[in-house]
Amino acid sequence: MKNPTSHFLKSTRISVFLLFFLFFISEWGNAALIDFADGKTLTIASLSCDENKVFGIAGTESFSVPREMIRDISFSTKDREADVLATYVSDIKPLFEKAQKLMGLYPDSTSVLVLDDGQFRYRPDGTNLYLYRAVIFLAKEESLGAAEVNIGFEPTRQRVRVIHARTLNSDGSVGVLSPDQIKIAKGSSGEVYFDQYQQLSFTIPDAHVGGMIDYCYELEEFNPVDKLLFQSHFTFQGTDPVGDSILRVYMPKDVPLYYVSPNCREVNSKPVVSSEKDETLYTWKMSDMPPIIPEPAMPSLSDVAPSVAFCLQKDWGYMFKRLKPMFEKRFVLTDSVKKKVDEIISGAKTLEEKISKIYLFCQKEIRYISIKGNLSSNQVGHPAEDTLKNRYGDCTDKGMLLSTMLKHIGVEAYPVGIKTNPSGKAIRELPIFDSDHCITEVHLNGRRFYLDSTATDYRYPYFRADDHDTLTENAMLERLDPVPLPPPEDNALLVKREISLSEDGTARVSFDSESNGPAEASMRGSTRNLKPEEYEKSVRASIAALTADYVLEIATHSDPLDFSTAFQVKSAYTLKKFAPRSGRFMIFQIPYIKLNFPEVSLKERKYDLVRLTSNLRKEDVNIKLPQGFSVRFLPAPLSIKTPFVEFDAKYVRDSDSIKFSSRISFPNRIVPVVEYKNHQENLERIAKFTDERIFMEKISQIGEKK
Amino acid sequence: MNRFWMLFFAFFFLSPVYGDVLYLNEGEEHVGRLVSITSGSVLFQDFDGNNETFSENEVAHVLLSKIREGDLINQVASLTEPTIKEILVSAPSNSDFPQNDYVTLFRKRSVKFNQDGSVFYENRQVTKIFKEPGLDAANCSFYYFNDTEKLELAFAHTYNSDGRIFHLTDDALSEESIYTGTPEYNRLRKVKFALKKVDLGSVIDVCYRVRTEKHSALRPYIIDTVFGQREPILREELVVEFPNSMQTTVQPFQWPASGAPTLTTSTNPQTGETTMQWKFSDTKGYIPEQNMAATNRIFPRVFVCPQTTWDDIGKQFQQALDSAAPKPALIEAFISDLGIASQSGQVATLRALYDGIQRKIRLIGVPCQDYGFDPVSTDIALTRNYGNSFARITLLYFALKHLGIESSVGFVTSWKSGGTQEKVTSLGQCWEAILKVNLDEKDYFVCCESDYYPFSFLPTSYQGSKACFLKNYSFQFETLPDGGSNQNRFDRQLFVKVSLDGDMDVKEVRNFRGPFEVSLRGMRSLKDKEKQNFAEKVVKRIHPHAQLRDFSFSNLSDFREPVVFTLSYLIPKAAIKASDQILAFRNYWVDYSGTSASLASRTYPMDYWATEEKVNTLVVELPEGFDWTPWDRNFSYDCSCIRYFSTMVQKGRTLVFSDLFQANRKEYDPKIHYPHYRECIFTLEDIAKQWIILENSAGKDPLKPGFMQAPEPQG
């Protein structure tokens, strides 16, 4: 086989100079892996560099290359060994039998995860190994995509080896992946995300309905960021049936393992513990797991599927001790940060005004860009100074900057990790990395509250809905605290309408609204992205949903960038012949009051019903009747009050008008499944009420036929 | 290298640039400048100029930030390049463009075709940010093919209003593969990056270059440019240079009489090169309109590509196609597995092959544009059971050929983007592959881009579009048939029994054809409980009190028949009882909206998604003694573009409503056709608002004039 190094050196036209090798060797260091800017890589025995060039020894040749040709120098990356894939399969028959059994139980399944086998091994030297095998029975065409496998890894810390990847056929034959089809590349991610991960990918050939795919790989963490932060979270159930789902954790005898087992039944929650040579083996096994059937507005899968999370510590002490210095290092009030804060708060009189201005700066002038590269940037973020300088950052960076800036005005604040509520409840019983977001905890006048500068349109002191009702981890204060659910009044939309009806059904509507909290932020966000003409067009499209035959008179809103007051919207329009006439009757529905609740569409549910946060909507409408008409029918008032929904609405008839008022609020975020029937009934009553009409009848004149 | 950049590099060694990132094994990271690595020690300098030494054993890796052109100039005052100096001096302020998110100050794209067949492309764009949404312009991404092209990001600078300049660092740059899982198709790469320190009022300046080493008829090189965008562009230039010996196709479209880009052509007798330069400026931008036709069908557009003929392209494609032929044993085994021998007739054979390929060859979502027009060996699809749409078409072509049935492989692009242009001799304008088979004097067009397309269904994006097909070693052009009522069809029949207390017992049958069936066929992968959840959701959308009794789907895997979805449900109190004599209800199943006709007038043409037909039939069994109060008006509209008819009659105890909506036109000119469309939509939504009022004529208890309010619900 051709020497790849020589080929590389020639092809990249690097100046190669043979020897004086011994002369240089004392200046050179350890082996390293070089990533070149053109995508090629080279493992070298020894390396040195100065401001302009990198020198190395590869094989028997030494060379030098200009620095700009190199993208990365790694001292820890290990070469991948050539993949040698196992071909022998001993368990085809029992695997097919298991698949058939599960297909018998769940015949409508797309696929069956016949075997889901994860083994973690914590080595005495602090490195660890994860061995995973999946065997998937392909029951429908839609499952064939499972043959495409992608495994992410961080090359300076981890190494992946494919043990086998093959198709199993019911006749006992096996189709094996060719090792040259295994590729490593930087996979594609969203426009704003930058990280150090690579992806090992392959597609198992000949995947077909009725067959199985079977792959196994080993992920070795040879350079863990912290040898004591060995931890993971393994889930035993998914949206397709699972045959055997097994978690094994091998630990050195003298190292204890701590675990929690969310959503596991008592019988499965504790492992079988056995002793194997110098190791203790913890095994959890769950078999014949039914598929989870998704429901609208159901909790996150992590809140319903049985799982086990484990780590080496029983409390947060070590984790906090490890992260706290990183936080403190970044939480530095430098001169430039102070100067910027002074500039931002200029003109602000009260402390609240100052906080508000700083909060807005971090939201609006720090662009969302996420750059992750190590434990520090992953968990703590970049220094406040860097984020300010770059004018970009992600949640950790923005949380750090906001906290640091608030410090300058004497406000105690901390970046804290949370798991956003759509992702489920965070594990806080053990020190597991289970946060997916960072917000800012503010301590002011004995009160603790939260701000989220990763948003872009929140008026102080409101913050993002997905942060509500979560659990924080505050490494700086070494505390775990709840983020409370705000009252519905903090996410409110207040609407006023004046409607004047004409005899031909034409309705002139004058609309005013004011909002706060997430509702306000959403309206600000959507309006600030539109030019005035575009906003007008969007209002037109919205009105045309009522009737395309309309005249728009006013479509304005307050300045979405003025955060000193609540956001207000105003419009006035005429809906021509909006109220249909049928003979002498006129039928009218107040525009936009109809409410739908798709979350209660199911007759029965298995899981709780979950919404993002609490909210409130209030409507006050005055309807002037058309000349010559009297009210024939008004819907009955409706009042409902439960812990999960409060509704109060009524039509009141006046001499020549009708006054309508309604108030709906959802004070709680989670409706337990036992309350579902009652809740569904209530929401359906509300939906029906809001779909009812006012019936008016033309008053007969003398001699006129009815 | 020109003098300007030489000056830049002269600065390089005078001033340190901080963009390297050192990652420590223990989890920390440092941003600064790698000074040296010697004797196992790494010397690193931070922002403040402090040096710190680490042992190599402590360091995981060091990411080096490339020094790009201009990266050593940190003040606007120090700039020497005339173009940017001039742009910055004359840059407008926010008050000049109060409504705009950003303004493109300068965009220049230069294409140079070289004698050796390579092409050099440079793109430079200078943008001034005015509003927060404009900040997104600071997040950039570019694409290229890694096997034939080299992309170089020349520079990415931010000029701030305080006169400072900031430069991109490589921790905010990533080069990514798009199709990693399937190496055969993994050509496309993306380079993305985020510019630093971009404030409102900042100017960003980005330049990248792509050198295409080789291109061919099947890996074509094409420039497709549209002049005009939502935000203003003050100065735009497109420059194309080519040797006189090399013929180049330059094809303009939609060239307006005024306001068009100006073209200057010059020839340099010394170099023997011709240069074409278009200049354009638009200080307003445009305001998008609802369902607006694609900008490449409205605004001036230029195609530039090496000149060739469709004959040449055809010959090369035929050759490539032949070399992608499968091994005879493999294709025979594939056909044999599908049981084709049992099919009677060529059409049945074609259909069986199509169904088999759709079922057995997993679709990889890589369009021809992201890979190329030279087919991957058909053996790969046959041995690995996957392929892109083009690979499926190629397999179908060879399977038919093996069975003695002739077919033509072709390529197509969407109708919305203007279809394939015969004058532009390049496959680069096409998106996807298509197969044409003429059997029994009928043309069958086959697309394989979705597992759920029924046999010979043309996706709506290709209906009415122009495609090219290989025939006799050349490509021939043909307009594909439009969808119309045969292909794009939805029928609904409803039987509703209304009881005296207003309850409705509903039986509903929905028939989907063509595009409407695609999403429903995808439901074949759902479990029974998920299908039930779907049906429950559907009826709740009709009425919040609707209670599903039963539902069924036709066999979703049987592509020979339309998808039929039947529902049976009860809507308690669906009709409002306004008195003992009056029952009133809305036609819940006719829910037309006027949103698409919200604009009284338009500037740009409107696109309707497809020609189509929708039919509703509602039969209502009335409660004893109640009769319908007629509407006294007709809800119909008819013109050549669009039609709507409805009827409502009472026959004995049944009330029969039926309507038909037919769209015969897809593009609506703002002056001529859009008013027709709007008028028709008025009619549709009028009927959607209309209530059905039933009066008890038998009792004839005269209506008491006066007011009634429904009693408060009990319980």
Interface contact A203-B181, CB threshold 8 A: yes
CATH 2.30.30.100 fits B18-63, yes or no: yes
> What CATH architecture does domain B310-481 belong to?
Roll (3.10)
Task: Give A148's contacts in chain B (Cβ within 8 Å).
Answer: 181-182
Do A475 and A365 share a structural domain? yes
Do A338 and A242 share a structural domain? no
Look at residue A1 in the predicted model and tell me its pLDDT. 39
Listed ranges A83-87, A341-345, B582-586; the one with the highest mean pLDDT: A341-345
Band of pLDDT at residue B6, cut at 50, 70 and 90: very low
Do A404 and A284 share a structural domain? no
Please, what is the average pLDDT of chain A? 92
Tell whether the model's pLDDT for residue B13 goes beyond 90. no
Look at residue B39 in the predicted model and tell me its pLDDT. 85
Rounded CA-CA distance A390/A380 in Å is 17
Task: Give B192's contacts in chain A (Cβ within 8 Å).
Answer: 191
Element (H, E) at B157: strand B149-159
Pick the last residue of a domain from A266, A293, A311: A311
CATH 1.10.3720.10 fits B486-696, yes or no: no
Tell whether the model's pLDDT for residue A17 goes beyond 50. no
Q: Does A228 touch chain B (CB under 8 A)?
A: no
- Across A403-506, where does the E strand assignment appear? 412-418, 437-444, 447-451, 470-471, 482-483, 492-501
Band of pLDDT at residue B707, cut at 50, 70 and 90: low
For the segment B286-293, the average pLDDT, to the nearest whole number, is: 96
Band of pLDDT at residue B5, cut at 50, 70 and 90: very low
Task: Give B591's contacts in chain A (Cβ within 8 Å).
Answer: none
Band of pLDDT at residue B181, cut at 50, 70 and 90: confident
Task: Give B682's contacts in chain A (Cβ within 8 Å).
Answer: 548-549
Interface contact A68-B67, CB threshold 8 A: yes
Residue A669 sits in a domain of what CATH number? 2.60.120.1130
Tell whether the model's pLDDT for residue A26 goes beyond 60. no
Q: Which B residues, 521 through 550, put their C-beta within 8 Å of a C-beta on chain A? A: 522, 524-530, 533, 536-537, 540-541, 543-545, 547-548
Do A517 and A431 share a structural domain? no
- Closest in B39, B61, B545 to A73, CB measured: B61
Q: State the DSSP string of B47-94.
A: TTS-EEEEEGGGEEEEEPPPPPTTTT--BGGG---HHHHHHHHHPPPG
Dihedral sign computed on CA atoms, order B686, B689, B691, B692: positive
Rounded CA-CA distance B427/B435 in Å is 15
Band of pLDDT at residue B709, cut at 50, 70 and 90: low
Do A541 and A465 share a structural domain? no
For the segment B131-160, the average pLDDT, to the nearest whole number, is: 95
For the segment A255-263, the average pLDDT, to the nearest whole number, is: 98
φ, ψ dihedrals at B635, nearest 5°: -110, 85
- Closest in B13, B25, B385 to A76, CB measured: B25
Look at residue B202 in the predicted model and tell me its pLDDT. 97
B273: closest CA of chain A, how far (Å): 31
8 A C-beta contact, residue B570 and residue B549: yes
Tell whether the model's pLDDT for residue A219 goes beyond 60. yes
Pick the last residue of a domain from A466, A484, A502: A484
Tell me which residue of B323, B347, B19 sits closest to B170, measured CA to CA: B19
- Whether residue A83 is contained in a domain is answered as no
Contacts of B331 (CB under 8 A, 6+ apart): B378, B382, B398, B399, B402
- Across A253-349, where does the E strand assignment appear? 258-260, 272-276, 279-289, 307-311
The model's pLDDT over B26-35, given as tens digits with 9 standing for 90+, comes to: 999 999 999 9
Interface contact A635-B710, CB threshold 8 A: yes
For the segment A178-204, the average pLDDT, to the nearest whole number, is: 93
Rounded CA-CA distance B172/B195 in Å is 8
- Whether residue A144 is contained in a domain is answered as yes
Lowest-pLDDT range, A242-251, A481-490, B254-263, B693-702?
B693-702
Pick the last residue of a domain from A289, A311, A333: A311
Task: Give B142's contacts in chain A (Cβ within 8 Å).
Answer: none
Do A221 and A352 share a structural domain? no
Interface contact B710-A390, CB threshold 8 A: no
Tell whether the model's pLDDT for residue A320 goes beyond 60. yes
Tell whether the model's pLDDT for residue B8 goes beyond 50. no
Look at residue B634 in the predicted model and tell me its pLDDT. 86
Task: Give B526's contacts in chain A (Cβ within 8 Å).
Answer: 108
Cβ-count burial of B572 within 10 angstroms (0-12 exposed, 13-18 middle, 19+ buried)?
A: middle
For the segment A202-213, the average pLDDT, to the nearest whole number, is: 93
The bridge status of strand B654-663 relative to strand B667-668 is unpaired
- Closest in A54, A223, A533 to B25, CB measured: A223
- Whether residue A345 is contained in a domain is answered as yes
Rounded CA-CA distance B256/B605 in Å is 15
Look at residue A581 in the predicted model and tell me its pLDDT. 84
Q: Does A697 touch chain B (CB under 8 A)?
A: yes
For the segment A259-276, the average pLDDT, to the nearest whole number, is: 96
Interface contact A373-B190, CB threshold 8 A: no
Band of pLDDT at residue B183, cut at 50, 70 and 90: confident
Do A413 and A302 share a structural domain? no
Do A354 and A220 share a structural domain? no
Look at residue A584 in the predicted model and tell me its pLDDT. 83
Q: State the DSSP string of A145-205.
A: GGGEEEEEE-TTTEEEEEEEEEEE-TTS-EEE--GGG-EEE-----TTEE-S-EEEEEE-T
Tell me which residue of A302, A313, A312 sits closest to A120, measured CA to CA: A312
Look at residue B623 in the predicted model and tell me its pLDDT. 95
Do A225 and A135 share a structural domain? yes
Q: Which two tokens stand for residue B619?
A: 């039969």
B13: closest CA of chain A, how far (Å): 9
User: How much of chain A exceeds pLDDT 70, in percent?
Assistant: 95
Where do runs of H (alpha helix) occur along B440-575? 484-487, 515-521, 528-542
Rounded CA-CA distance B500/B574 in Å is 11
Do A684 and A654 share a structural domain? yes
8 A C-beta contact, residue A474 and residue A423: no
For the segment B321-344, the average pLDDT, to the nearest whole number, is: 92
Rounded CA-CA distance A181/A15 in Å is 33
Look at residue B642 in the predicted model and tell me its pLDDT. 95
B675: closest CA of chain A, how far (Å): 12
Please, what is the average pLDDT of chain B? 92
Rounded CA-CA distance B87/B102 in Å is 15
Decide whether B18-63 matches B76-305 in CATH topology: no
Look at residue A254 in the predicted model and tell me its pLDDT. 94
Task: Give A72's contacts in chain B (Cβ within 8 Å).
Answer: 61-64
* ipTM confidence: 0.91
User: How much of chain B exceeds pLDDT 70, in percent?
Assistant: 95
Contacts of A6 (CB under 8 A, 6+ apart): A59, A61
Q: Say how many C-beta atoms besides its own lie within 10 A of residue A377's C-beta.
A: 26
Interface contact B537-A692, CB threshold 8 A: no
**Total number of domains in chain A:** 4
- Whether residue A316 is contained in a domain is answered as no
- Whether residue A87 is contained in a domain is answered as no
Look at residue A30 in the predicted model and tell me its pLDDT. 65
The model's pLDDT over B452-461, given as tens digits with 9 standing for 90+, comes to: 999 999 999 9
Look at residue A68 in the predicted model and tell me its pLDDT. 86
Q: Say how many C-beta atoms besides its own lie within 10 A of residue B441's C-beta.
A: 5
φ, ψ dihedrals at B614, nearest 5°: -130, 135
- Whether residue A181 is contained in a domain is answered as yes
Q: Which two tokens stand for residue A546?
A: 């009522």
User: How much of chain A exceeds pLDDT 90, in percent?
Assistant: 81
3-state class (DSSP) for residue B552: strand
Do A669 and A624 share a structural domain? yes
Task: Indicate the DSSP class of residue B706.
Answer: S
Domain ranges within chain B, ordered by starting residue: 18-63, 76-305, 310-481, 486-696
- Whether residue A285 is contained in a domain is answered as yes
φ, ψ dihedrals at A8, nearest 5°: -65, -45
Lowest-pLDDT range, A21-25, A33-37, B150-154?
A21-25
Band of pLDDT at residue B708, cut at 50, 70 and 90: low
Tell whether the model's pLDDT for residue B2 goes beyond 50. no
Cβ-count burial of B503 within 10 angstroms (0-12 exposed, 13-18 middle, 19+ buried)?
A: middle
Cα A320 to Cα A257, A416, A429, A433, A479: the distances in Å are: 19, 12, 14, 12, 9
Residue A167 sits in a domain of what CATH number? 2.60.40.3140
Strand partners, A551: A574
The model's pLDDT over A87-121, given as tens digits with 9 standing for 90+, comes to: 878 889 999 999 999 999 999 999 999 999 999 99
CATH 2.60.40.3140 fits B76-305, yes or no: yes
Task: Give A143's contacts in chain B (Cβ within 8 Å).
Answer: 525
B249: closest CA of chain A, how far (Å): 32
Q: Say how many C-beta atoms besides its own lie within 10 A of residue B51's C-beta.
A: 12
Look at residue A701 in the predicted model and tell me its pLDDT. 58
For the segment A440-460, the average pLDDT, to the nearest whole number, is: 97
Where do runs of H (alpha helix) occur along A370-485? 375, 384-390, 395-408
Domain that holds residue A35: 4-74
Do A121 and A60 share a structural domain? no
φ, ψ dihedrals at B521, nearest 5°: -65, -30
Tell whether the model's pLDDT for residue A527 goes beyond 60. yes
For the segment A463-482, the average pLDDT, to the nearest whole number, is: 98
Look at residue B340 in the predicted model and tell me its pLDDT. 85
Q: Does A529 touch chain B (CB under 8 A)?
A: yes
For the segment A662-683, the average pLDDT, to the nearest whole number, is: 98
For the segment B188-206, the average pLDDT, to the nearest whole number, is: 97
- Whether residue A53 is contained in a domain is answered as yes
- Closest in A202, A293, A391 to B197, CB measured: A391
Lowest-pLDDT range, A17-31, A41-55, A70-84, A156-170?
A17-31
